[in-house]
Each structure stands twice: as structure tokens, then as C-alpha cells.
Structure 1
Amino acid sequence: MKDNQSIAIYFWMLLVPLFWGGAFVAAEHVITEIPPVTAAAFRFGIAGILLSIYVLWNKRIDIEAFKKQWKTVLAMAITGIFGYNIFFFIALDITSAINGSLIVATTPVLVTLGAVLFLGEVWNKQLSFGLILSLLGVFVVISKGSLSTILSLEFNAGDLLFIGGLLSWVAHGLLGKIAMRDVSPVVTTAATTLIGSIFLSAVSLFEGGWGDILDMSTQAWGEMAFMIVCSSVIGFLLWNNGIKQIGASKASIYMNLVPINTAWLAVVFYQSTITWAQILGMVMVIMGVYFVTLHPYLKNKQRIAAK
């Protein structure tokens, strides 16, 4: 039974990039109706309230454990929920989405390095191969297979903000591994989303867009509901649970599936186009994720069965 639960997390984690990729597509339309930071504050605020109600209703919180890790949880909220979103949205106004996507694509590599250096996780050739293969695949997807697109990129101050967002997210993942030594994933997710939304709400006041929320279209409300329930509540619960169970390095590789899901969801729901080069890139990413996550697990199972 325990063995089935162990392998199940690898498949459950596939929902994370699906929901987060969908969030990119949904947010692209939502922020045409309400300001971006306001949208993020509303999204994480409602998600945090829902999760907090669940935690309190089921009495899932260990007060002593939370007291032990409250500083780490606060740091997670500031980096992963508040910092990442602020850096991301401000940077998008200054630089291109392609620049940002390429910078953020290095997340698994940096998280893995951090996990190896600070959390005692193991580095090996298979992990290296999977990371490099999936990273190259992401570059192909984002650039649509055009080398000239990559070579013609111009970097500016906005890219430094994207790097700030990247480092915020890396810190969030590494801090999560530390916090969840004592605090459960559901309590960690509830606390970080709620606290992060408070910081986002404070900044959103400068946008003056809260009055626009009630005037959102039916489509925007549907997209917001998806971001709250799927991308925030379920997505972050699975993400934190994945970090706890399989480690920050293996969990982070799933991030490279986010642009894959963003691409095909945009094709299906928003009539975007896709190239054969992008499809090849998607296959590279999927193979890279497989080599980092499921392949070593199945290989170990075969070794045990042979004994």
C-alpha cells in the first residue's frame, strides 16, 4: 500500500504544471479586466481563506510545530507568493515574456543545486541528463525552434526583475522543504497563501482596481474560479506535498512542464498556433521529467524485484 502511495505522488504532481500552465492562459485574459496585482491578491486571498477554513474545521494545525517554523513559513509567503508575483508582473511591463520564460526555465536547475548544497539531496548523472534535456526542450518550445529568436533577445532592467522572481521561487521551494519537516503541507499552503495575499493586497491598493472585480465578465469569473480552486488550492497543496515526499529537486523538474501546458491550452482554448519544433521541444521536456522522476523509481523497483 505504501509503495503505491509512493509512486502515486509522481503522477499527482503532473496536475501541478497543468493547473499552473492553465493559470498563465487564464490570467492573460483576467488582467485585461482587472489589474494584475489585484488579480493575484484576490486569487490567493480567497484560496487562503478556503484552505484556512478547511484546516480549522478539521483541526489539522499543530500549534507547537507551527511556532517552531513560523519564520520559515513567513519567508515562504514573502518569497513564493508575494515576491514572485510582484517581480513577475512588474517585469512583464518592462521586458518580453520570452525573456522572462527563458529565465524562469532555469528554476529546476537552481532548486536542484540549492537542494544538493543546503538540504543534503543527491546529485547524479541521471538527474543532470534529465535537467539538461528538459531545459533544452523548454527553450525550443519558448523560441518555437528559432535560433534567431534566442540570438536576437535584448536584455534590460526588466530581466533583472525576472531574476528576482526566479530567486524568490527557488527560495520558496527550498524553504518549503525545511518548513514541512514539522508543519503539514496543507497548513503550510494555507498559511503561505493567506499571508502572501495580505502583502499583495497592500500593494494592489496603488492600482485602485478592486472596484472592477464585481464588473468582471462571466468568462473572467470562470477563469478566476479555476485559478483559485485548481491553480492555488489544489496546485499548491500538491506542490508542497511533492516537495515533502520526493524532495525539492525532483519536484522542481515538473516546473518545466508549465510552458508545455500553457502552449497546448492556448491552442485548444484560445486558437493559438503551434509548430513542429515546439512539439519536439515538448517531447524533450517530458522525457527529461521522466528521467529525473519516474525512471530512477522504476529502475530501483526492478533491482529490488531481481534480488
Structure 2
Amino acid sequence: MQRSVVFGLLAAMTAVAIWGGNFIASRYLSSHVPPIGLAFFRWSVGFLVLAPFALRPMIRQRRVIFRNFPMIALTAFLGVTSFNTLIYFAGATTAAVKMALIAALIPALMIVSDRVLFGTPITGRKLAGLIVAFLGVAFLVSGGDPVSLLHQGFALGDLLMLGASASFAFYSTLLKYRPKELDPNAHLGAMFLIGIMPLFPAYLWESAYVRPVVWDATTIYGIAYVGIVASAVAYFCWNIAVRDLGSTRSAMVYYTIPLATAFEAVLILGEAITPVHGISFAIIIGGIVLARK
């Protein structure tokens, strides 16, 4: 195996392990940092880490940014403002393993978003894969009894995680059409900065009328993790993985996020792994593989 492939595989596995930890952090920090506050500080710290690499190209290409502002603002809202905020809201009530399994649905939701946004046809194979993947999620959130959903419906945390997954799917679909002339660091920096703006007043409201952040060592370490490691470091590793492995092989590693999260949830949170989790994972991944063929 070539050295670049090994390096890319290690980089992809590192990114996946880090992103799996983001679900752990959402659960672990839920009593210390309210959801909007955690999202605000995550992206604020992430922008500060990125700033030395992004500010100069952002200034140099400010006209390109202004010309493409509507598209950049939309992707910022979907990928920065709403995605992780919904994850952190879901983390207050939903187990980390279940959140990661629902997030595994994102590649299937990208097929739907591509259809909604750009009219890309959904073939019979893709439709079958989507149905299988959604059945996997239904099996998961119902605790192994999908028929019960007809009576009890989805739990709020599950719906929030589905909303987060849909948000990231639409973000990822739009990202394919980002301005080609825009420097990647400038694009990422602009998205971070624009995405933070609506989070700031929302964070002030949350602190005043819901609950403030509890500033202690747990909070500081947690924000440092999601802001530095889960944002800057993970994105850096993922970019290396895509460069060395290609997007298709990198995506196959991405599908193991539920496994990484499960391992971390057992070690850190003491969550139990049940046969329902394993069966759901197999059904969801099977549906995604069928849909992506």
C-alpha cells in the first residue's frame, strides 16, 4: 500500500474519531453549556484558530465574497449556524450513540437535497436505498419496534438530530457549487464569520432568559475541544484524507462515525450498546451503499 494512501487513511480515521467526540461533547457538556452558547463558542474559537490562515485571503478576495454573498451566507447558515446548534439541542435529551447513527443518514439525505435543489433524478436503486436507510433510522428511534412510531411518534431529540442531518446534507450539496476562484481558507473563514453573527444575539438571549454558561474546567476544556480539535484539526485531517484517498474512499471511512462514537460513549459516558444499535447501523449503511451505487 502506498505511503500516501496509508497517511490518508490515518488522517480520515483521526477526523472520524474527532467528529465522533463531538456527539460525546454535546452530551457531556449539556449541563454546563446551553446549546446555543456551545455552538457560538465552538465557531468563535474555530474562527480564531483559522484567522491567521484566512484573514489575508479574505481581505484580498473581499469582492469575490461580496459578489457571492447570498450563496456563502446560505451555506454558513446551514453548515455553521444551524447544524451543530441542532446537534447540541439534541444532545440534551438523546444518547450520543443514537445521534451518531441518525447522522449516518446524511449521505442518503444528500441525494434528497440534490433532487430538491437541482432536480437531480432519483433512480429506482437510489429510492430503494433511501427507503432502507430511513427504515434503519425508524428501527433505531423506535427501539426495535418501528410500528410503535405510528402511535408514539419521534422523540424531540431524534427530530432535532434529523433536522441537523438534513441541514448538513443541504450544506454539503450546495458546497459543490462554491465559487471556484475563492481561496478555500477565505471561503471557510467567511462561512465561519457569517455563521457566527446570528448565533451571538441568540447566545445573549439564551444567557439572559434560559440559563448562562457555567464557567469551570469542564466547560473550558470542552469548548477548546469542539472549537479547536473538532473544527480546525478535524477539517485539516479530512482535507488531507480527501486529497490522498479521494472523496469516495474517504466517505466510506466517514460511515464509521457511529462505531467511533459508540466506542467513545462506552468509555466516557458509560452508555450501553444494544443489539438495536448494531442492527440499525447495518440497515442504514446497507441502504446508503445501495443508494450510492
> TM-score scaled to structure 1, two decimals?
0.68
| Cα distance between partner residues in 2 of 1:232 and 1:192 | 13
Q: Which residue identity is paired with 2:114? A: A
- Pairwise mapping of residues 272-291 of structure 1 onto structure 2 (< 5 A)? 272-283=271-282
Q: In the alignment, which residue of structure 2 is the partner of 1:199?
A: 198
Q: In the alignment, which residue of structure 1 is the partner of 2:218?
A: 219
Q: CA deviation at 1:53?
A: 1.7
Mean alpha-carbon deviation: is it higher for 220-229 or for 12-21? 12-21
- 1:136-176 per-position Cα deviation (integer Å, ceiling 9, x unaligned): 55555555545466555424888876665454333311221
- Pairwise mapping of residues 99-114 of structure 1 onto structure 2 (< 5 A)? 106-114=105-113
Q: CA deviation at 1:223?
A: 2.4
- 1:227-278 per-position Cα deviation (integer Å, ceiling 9, x unaligned): 112222233456688899967x998787754444332211121211112342
| Cα distance between partner residues in 2 of 1:153 and 1:254 | 34
Does the 8 Å contact 1:112/1:252 carry over to 2? no
| Cα distance between partner residues in 2 of 1:12 and 1:127 | 29
Q: In the alignment, which residue of structure 2 is the partner of 1:267?
A: 266
Q: Which residue identity is paired with 2:215? A: D
Q: In the alignment, which residue of structure 2 is the partner of 1:185?
A: 184
Alpha carbons of structure 1 residues 61 and 240: separation in structure 2 relative to 1, 3 Å: farther
Q: In the alignment, which residue of structure 2 is the partner of 1:97?
A: 94
Q: In the alignment, which residue of structure 1 is the partner of 2:38?
A: 39
Q: Matched residue pairs, number?
A: 287
Does the 8 Å contact 1:141/1:278 carry over to 2? yes
Q: Which residue identity is paired with 2:275? A: W
| Cα distance between partner residues in 2 of 1:7 and 1:120 | 37
Does the 8 Å contact 1:107/1:255 carry over to 2? no
Percent identity, aligned pairs only, is 22
| Cα distance between partner residues in 2 of 1:277 and 1:161 | 20
Mean alpha-carbon deviation: is it higher for 72-81 or for 3-12? 3-12
| Cα distance between partner residues in 1 of 2:84 and 2:75 | 13
RMSD: 4.7
| Cα distance between partner residues in 2 of 1:87 and 1:111 | 18
Aligned with 1:115: secondary structure?
helix
- Pairwise mapping of residues 117-128 of structure 1 onto structure 2 (< 5 A)? none
Q: CA deviation at 1:14?
A: 4.6
Aligned with 1:46: secondary structure?
helix
Q: CA deviation at 1:82?
A: 1.2
Does the 8 Å contact 2:28/2:269 carry over to 1? no
Alpha carbons of structure 1 residues 13 and 159: separation in structure 2 relative to 1, 3 Å: same
1:234 aligns with 2:233: yes
Q: Which residue identity is paired with 2:112? A: L
Q: In the alignment, which residue of structure 1 is the partner of 2:17?
A: 18
Q: Which residue identity is paired with 1:170? A: A
Alpha carbons of structure 1 residues 169 and 30: separation in structure 2 relative to 1, 3 Å: same
> TM-score scaled to structure 2, two decimals?
0.71
Q: CA deviation at 1:43?
A: 0.9
Does the 8 Å contact 2:104/2:257 carry over to 1? no
- 1:107-133 per-position Cα deviation (integer Å, ceiling 9, x unaligned): 322312333675697977876676666
| Cα distance between partner residues in 1 of 2:105 and 2:24 | 21
- 1:45-104 per-position Cα deviation (integer Å, ceiling 9, x unaligned): 1101211222246x58761543443321121112221133455556777xx638987876
Q: In the alignment, which residue of structure 2 is the partner of 1:299?
A: none
Aligned with 2:206: secondary structure?
coil
Structure 2 unaligned runs (5+)?
none
